[in-house]
Amino acid sequence: MTARHEQIKIEKRTRKLNRRIVGWGILAVVGGILILQLIPYGRNHANPPVIQEPNWDSSTTRALAVRACYDCHSNQTVWPWYSNIAPLSMTLWEDTIQGRAAMNFSEWDSAAWDDADTERLIELVGGNHMPPPHYGNLHPEARLNRVEQGQLINGLIATITAGD
């Protein structure tokens, strides 16, 4: 047998081994995702009651907030079908819990706001950090253009300062 034939045999064995490794890898990932479905974390989608909404400065501000913010920053979250599939259910649950802890339009207390909170809000909304890009990709209606961002920022500032 020539060296070329030997090299071809080795390449065939290598390809076969690589296919097996990839196959086992895919099987492990699918198996892991299936096992994750047994963990109930992140699937309790009972929204808490609305306690106090802001005294909105305008219906436009409220509409923009509902469209772009409410799923994570209120107790009126709309849970999509994929929020029942792990690991997405876990990620969405954590995002929502953290969002509600940072600011919750359903448990509003404008007296708790200070200038640093307002500056952070302006930075996040004006800097295209809110809503987060991964949320905006799944919910394109939540993405705000520059004019809408300005309207939301100005409206939230007016809403916050009116409550003082």
pLDDT tens sequence across 93-124? 999 999 999 999 999 987 788 888 889 988 99
Confidence of residue 1 (pLDDT cuts 50, 70, 90): low
- For residues 69 and 13, state if they share a domain: no
Q: pLDDT tens-digit profile of 118-152?
A: 899 889 999 988 888 888 888 999 999 999 999 99
Note whether residue 49 is domain-resident. Answer: no
Clarify whether residues 139 and 79 are in a common domain: yes
- Structural domain including 81 reads 59-162
Flag whether 45 is in a domain. Answer: no
In a domain, 53, yes or no: no
| Same domain flag for 70 and 7 | no
Residues 135 and 75 in one domain: yes
Tell whether 22 and 63 lie within a shared domain: no
At residue 36 the predicted structure's pLDDT band, cuts being 50, 70 and 90, is: confident
Same structural domain, 21 and 101: no
Q: Are residues 4 and 63 in the same domain?
A: no
Give the number of domains in the chain. Answer: 2
List, for residues 62-80, the tens digit of each pLDDT value. Answer: 999 999 999 999 999 999 8
Residue 161, pLDDT score: 85
Residue 81 and residue 20 share a domain: no
3-class SS letters over the chain: CCHHHHHHHHHHHHHHHHHHHHHHHHHHHHHHHHHHCCCCCCCCCCCCCCCECCCCCCHHHHHHHHHHCHHHHCCCCCCCHHHHCCCHHHHHHHHHHHHHHHCCCCECCHHHCCHHHHHHHHHHHHCCCCCCHHHHHHCHHHCCCHHHHHHHHHHHHHHHHHCC
Q: Are residues 150 and 101 in the same domain?
A: yes
One domain for residues 5 and 77: no
